[in-house]
């Protein structure tokens, strides 16, 4: 995956739709005061109106009959203007398919479809992020919300790079004003909170740009916030961010200097950078896999006091980059990789040969990212460099099998997939980010019958190309990574060149 530099944020300004109720109806107004001379108003029945050139006819109701059909009625003009405006506003706009925005247009989010939407501006773009587990409880649905995030920068100069640990609190629910009754705002805000969001941050200096960052999923239970950082210089550093996490909620706490240094550095990759990185969800002591651009994967494990990296890598010696790694959710020794050769491979750490057990070609182009389903352990999602993404049933993968067919595949995005993630709380929901500046949410449980598809096509021409499983489209400039929050149902955090987006839709 190549790096992208920050660009200016381009948004679109969507004008408000004008309803019929907002057009004042014609009516007869009373004239106040005695200053108005009656000579200004002529009697239409006087002799001055009689003319050989024009005959004015009065109907039985006393109204003037107009024989000139070329003069349009004022109400008809207003109606036609409203219809044109409605047609304009009802046009479906998809950032990656519709016409490019004009120089005076920006893209604005519709607050009515978000339950929460916040943007965090950062000094430098970040290519990767992960969410820190906390002790605030599970199934948190009330507002204002709080969460903890770890990310790392892509600074202009290497020495300016940092690992950022953020606490984002007082994240209020998105309020949508009702034009008919603006007094209902308090009902939308469950806790009556009207303050501004708060961001607290702690930094750890880094020596290079970070390609990928991953936090141990056991941190919330063990209290050890092991965070792995894969850098451009080929090093993989492991930090313990426990002190940084503690400082947010402990007044007067001073972070020890030692906490800003890595507790272990993996140098087995040499100076070869990598993107594949994942912690085992089943080994709480700490077990990390790291891959590089020459096709090597190293296993680093923690014993009673030290971290040990195996000297022999898992590889097939094809010199093709490992783009992503995912541990199995049910087998402690099983993991999957994907790479630029278009293959998805299943490995077993017990293999003495350090070779894959199964290799299946999933794409004719690079497979950039994969995600193992938390709820159904035989489902794996993958995203390709050509914008396609799909779902694989691993029960169909057999040793010696060269190819397999996905159980579902979508060709909606028109640029490379940069991140993919199953919802940890709902196995049918998947989040997909792409270089086309969008994050899409999908519901795989939706099945549209023929009548629904026909109805879609008849309703709108744009809907013909939209799969019925598509739930939501979120726009973010150069989005690179997206993560679900396991403790706040439906909440996501995504990162792009315009900072972090924390959002939750009404769809999930």
- Bridging pattern class, strands 114-120 and 145-153: unpaired
Domain-located, residue 235: yes
Largest distance between two CA atoms of the chain: 113
Q: How many helices and strands, by DSSP H and E, does the chain display?
A: 5, 30
Q: What Rg, from alpha-carbon coordinates, does the chain have?
A: 30
Domain-located, residue 54: no
- Bridging pattern class, strands 358-361 and 114-120: unpaired
The pTM of this model reads 0.79
Query: Residue 416: how many CB atoms within 10 A of its CB?
Result: 21
DSSP three-state, residue 244: helix
Domain-located, residue 63: no
The set of residues, in sequence order, having a beta carbon less than 8 Å from that of 179 and lying 6+ positions away, is: none
- pLDDT per position in the chain (508 positions), as tens? 544 444 443 443 433 343 444 433 433 334 344 444 434 444 444 444 444 555 555 555 555 555 555 555 677 777 766 665 555 555 667 766 677 777 777 778 889 999 999 999 999 999 999 999 999 999 999 999 999 999 999 999 999 999 999 999 999 999 776 555 555 444 444 555 667 999 999 999 999 999 999 999 999 999 999 999 999 999 999 999 999 999 999 999 999 999 999 999 999 999 999 999 999 999 999 999 999 999 999 999 998 889 999 999 999 999 999 999 999 999 999 999 999 999 999 999 999 999 999 999 999 999 999 999 999 999 999 999 999 999 999 999 988 877 889 999 999 998 999 999 999 999 999 999 999 999 999 999 988 666 666 666 666 666 667 888 999 999 999 999 999 999 999 999 999 998 999 999 999 8
- 317-343 per-position pLDDT tens digit: 999 999 999 999 999 999 999 999 999
Q: For residues 130 and 227, is the Cβ–Cβ distance under 8 A?
A: yes
Domain-located, residue 411: yes
DSSP three-state, residue 51: coil
Give the distance, in angstroms, between the CA of residue 125 and the centroid of all CA atoms in the same chain: 16
Domain-located, residue 477: yes
User: Minimal CA–CA distance to 277: which of 234, 219, 230?
Assistant: 230
- For residue 339, the domain's CATH number is 2.130.10.10
- 175-207 per-position pLDDT tens digit: 776 555 555 444 444 555 667 999 999 999 999
Domain-located, residue 28: no
User: Minimal CA–CA distance to 151: which of 506, 388, 502, 508?
Assistant: 502
Round to whole Å and give the CA distance between 10 and 105: 8
pLDDT score at 26:
39
DSSP structure string for 341-386 = TSEEEEEETT-SS---SEEEE--SS-EEEEEE-SSSTTEEEEEETT
Q: For residues 294 and 321, is the Cβ–Cβ distance under 8 A?
A: yes
- 336-354 per-position pLDDT tens digit: 999 999 999 999 999 999 9
pLDDT score at 9:
39
Q: 30 pairs with which residues across the strands?
A: none
Q: Which domain holds residue 422?
A: 112-505
Domain-located, residue 130: yes
Domain-located, residue 70: no
Looking at the structure of the chain, the number of domains it has is 1
Round to whole Å and give the CA distance between 294 and 135: 39
Q: For residues 369 and 323, is the Cβ–Cβ distance under 8 A?
A: yes
pLDDT score at 108:
83
């Amino acid at each position: 995956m190549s790096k992208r530099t920050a660009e200016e944020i381009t948004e679109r300004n969507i004008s408000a739709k004008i309803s019929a109720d907002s057009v004042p109806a014609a009516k007869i107004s009373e004239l106040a005061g005695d200053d108005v001379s009656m000579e200004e108003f002529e009697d239409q029945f006087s002799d001055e109106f009689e003319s050989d050139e024009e005959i004015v006819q009065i109907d039985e109701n006393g109204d003037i009959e107009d024989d000139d059909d070329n003069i349009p009625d004022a109400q008809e003009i207003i109606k036609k203007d409203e219809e044109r405006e409605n047609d304009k506003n009802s046009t479906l706009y998809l950032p990656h398919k519709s016409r490019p925005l004009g120089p005076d247009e920006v893209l604005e989010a519709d607050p009515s479809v978000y339950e929460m939407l916040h943007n965090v501006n950062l000094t430098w773009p970040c290519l990767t992020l992960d969410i820190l587990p906390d002790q605030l409880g599970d199934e948190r649905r009330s507002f204002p919300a709080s969460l903890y995030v770890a990310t790392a920068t892509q600074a202009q100069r290497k020495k300016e790079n940092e690992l950022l640990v953020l606490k984002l609190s007082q994240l209020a629910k998105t309020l949508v004003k009702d034009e008919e009754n603006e007094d209902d705002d308090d009902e939308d805000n469950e806790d009556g909170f009207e303050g501004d969001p708060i961001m607290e941050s702690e930094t750890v200096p880094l020596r290079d740009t970070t390609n990928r960052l991953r936090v141990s999923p056991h941190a919330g239970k063990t209290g050890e916030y092991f965070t792995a950082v894969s850098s451009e210089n080929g090093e993989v550093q492991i930090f313990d961010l426990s002190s940084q996490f503690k400082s947010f909620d402990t007044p007067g706490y001073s972070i020890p200097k030692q906490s800003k240094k890595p507790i272990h550095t993996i140098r087995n990759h040499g100076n070869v950078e990598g993107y594949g990185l994942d912690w085992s969800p089943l080994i709480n002591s700490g077990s990390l896999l790291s891959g590089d651009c020459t096709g090597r994967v190293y296993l680093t494990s923690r014993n009673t006091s030290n971290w040990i990296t195996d000297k022999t890598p898992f590889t097939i010696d094809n010199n093709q980059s490992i783009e992503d790694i995912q541990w199995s959710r049910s087998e402690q020794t099983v993991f999957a990789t994907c790479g630029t050769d278009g293959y998805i491979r299943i490995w077993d750490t017990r293999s003495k040969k350090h070779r894959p057990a199964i290799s299946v070609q999933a794409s004719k182009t690079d497979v950039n990212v994969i995600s193992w389903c938390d709820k159904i352990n035989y489902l794996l999602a993958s995203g390709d460099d050509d914008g396609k993404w799909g779902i694989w049933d691993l029960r169909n993968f057999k040793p010696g099998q060269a190819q397999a067919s996905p159980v579902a595949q979508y060709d909606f995005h028109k640029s490379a997939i940069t991140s993919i993630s199953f919802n940890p709380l709902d196995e049918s929901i998947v989040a997909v980010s792409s270089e086309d500046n969008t994050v899409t949410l999908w519901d795989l449980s939706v099945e549209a019958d023929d009548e629904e598809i026909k109805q879609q096509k008849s309703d709108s021409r744009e809907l013909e190309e939209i799969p019925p499983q598509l739930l939501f489209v979120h726009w973010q400039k150069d989005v690179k990574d997206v993560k679900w929050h396991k403790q706040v149902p439906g909440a996501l955090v995504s990162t792009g060149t315009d900072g972090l987006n924390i959002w939750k839709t009404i769809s999930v």
